[in-house]
Amino acid sequence: MVEQIGANASLRRYPWAIPIGGSLVAAGGGQYFQAWGSDDFESQERSPVSSIDRVIRTSEERWQYQTFFSGTASVVFGRVRDATSVYEVMVLEDRLQEAGVIGRALSPAARERLAAITYERFALATVRERPARTAWSAIEQVLRDDGALVDAGLDGYSIFRAVEPYLGPSAGVDATGLPKSPVQRQRGATIGPAFRYAHFHATQRADESRFEQETLDGIVNPPLETSAHSTLEASLDEPVGGAQAAYHRPLGKEWQLDVGGEVMIPMAEDRLQLATFEQASLVYLVADRWQAEVDLLHEWIDEVRTRGATSGDRWRWDYGATVRYYLEDQTGVELRLRERQSWLRGDPGHSYQRFGSVSLGLVYRFAGWFDAPAFPTP
Inter-CA distances, 303 with 271, 274, 278, 308, 314, Å: 9, 7, 18, 9, 8
pLDDT for residue 253: 86
Collect all residues with Cβ–Cβ distance below 8 Å to 141 and sequence separation of at least 6: none
pLDDT tens-place string over residues 237-257 = 989 999 999 999 999 888 999
Worst-scoring range by mean pLDDT, 87-91, 149-153, 171-175, 285-289?
171-175
Say yes or no to pLDDT of 376 above 70: no
| Mean per-residue pLDDT of the chain | 88
- Give the percent of the chain with pLDDT over 70: 93
- Of residues 371 and 52, more confidently modeled: 52
DSSP bridge pairs for 237: 199
Name the 3-class secondary structure at 97.
helix
pLDDT for residue 356: 96
Assess contact for 92 and 131: CB atoms under 8 A.
no
Task: For the chain, give every domain's residue range.
Answer: 84-162, 272-364
Query: Using CA atoms, how far apart are residues 242 and 236, in angstroms rounded to an integer?
Result: 19
**Full DSSP string of 156-224:** HHHHHHHTS-SSSS-----TT-----SS--EEEEEEEEEEEEEEEEEEEEEEEEEEEEEEETTEEPPPE
Of the candidates 191, 294, 186, the one whose C-alpha atom is nearest the C-alpha of residue 249 is 186
Q: What are the backbone dihedrals phi and psi of residue 217, each rounded to the nearest 5 degrees, phi first? A: 50, 45
Strands 351-364 and 224-251: unpaired
Calculate the CA dihedral of residues 120, 124, 127, 131 and round it to 10 degrees.
170
pLDDT tens-place string over residues 305-364 = 888 888 889 999 999 999 988 776 567 788 999 999 999 998 888 999 999 999 998 866
pLDDT for residue 224: 92
Assess contact for 153 and 139: CB atoms under 8 A.
no
Tell me which DSSP letter residue 305 carries.
T
pLDDT for residue 378: 45
Name the 3-class secondary structure at 317.
strand
Query: Using CA atoms, how far apart are residues 221 and 215, in angstroms rounded to an integer?
Result: 6
Collect all residues with Cβ–Cβ distance below 8 Å to 287 and sequence separation of at least 6: 91, 94, 95, 166, 167
Strands 290-302 and 20-46: unpaired
Query: Using CA atoms, how far apart are residues 62 and 60, in angstroms rounded to an integer?
Result: 7
pTM above 0.85, yes or no: no
Query: Using CA atoms, how far apart are residues 134 and 143, in angstroms rounded to an integer?
Result: 15
Q: Quick one: how far is CA 189 from the chain centroid?
A: 22
Q: What are the backbone dihedrals phi and psi of residue 116, each rounded to the nearest 5 degrees, phi first? A: -65, -35
Which long-range contacts does 8-15 make (Cβ < 8 Å, 24+ apart)?
Answer: 12/76, 14/76, 14/79
Predicted confidence band of residue 374 (pLDDT cuts 50, 70, 90)? low
pLDDT tens-place string over residues 87-114 = 999 999 999 998 888 988 999 999 999 9
